[in-house]
Amino acid sequence: MAHLWQKLTSLPFLRAEATDSAATGHDGTKGTDLLLDPRTAEHLELLTGRSCNRRMIYRTALTHRSVLHDNHLADIKPDSNQRLEFLGDAVLDLLISEYLFKQFPTSDEGHLSSNRSKIVNRRSLAGFAHELQLGEHLIVGESADRQKVRTSESALADAFESLIGAIYLDQGLAGAERFIMTHVISKVDLKRIVEEEYNYKSRLIEYTQSRQIPPPLYTVIAEEGAEHEKTFTIEVSCSGIVLGRGIAPRKKDAEQIAAREAMTLLETRDPFSPCPAS
Q: Which residues does the annotation mark as catalytic?
A: 89, 161
User: Are 249 and 229 in contact, with CB atoms under 8 Å apart?
Assistant: yes
d(CA 47, CA 64): 20
Q: Which long-range contacts (CB under 8 A, 24 or more apart) does 1-4 make?
A: 1/94, 1/98, 2/173, 2/174
> What distance lies between CA 102 and its chain's CA centroid?
15
Q: Which amino acid is at 164?
A: I
Distances (CA, A) of 225 to 105, 229, 252: 17, 6, 17
Cα–Cα distance for residue pair 173/184, rounded to 1 Å: 15
241-248 sheet: strands from edge to edge: 217-224, 231-238, 241-248
Distance CA 245, CA 258 (A): 4
Task: Give how far the C-alpha of residue 63 lies from the chain's centroid of Cα atoms, to the nearest Å.
Answer: 22
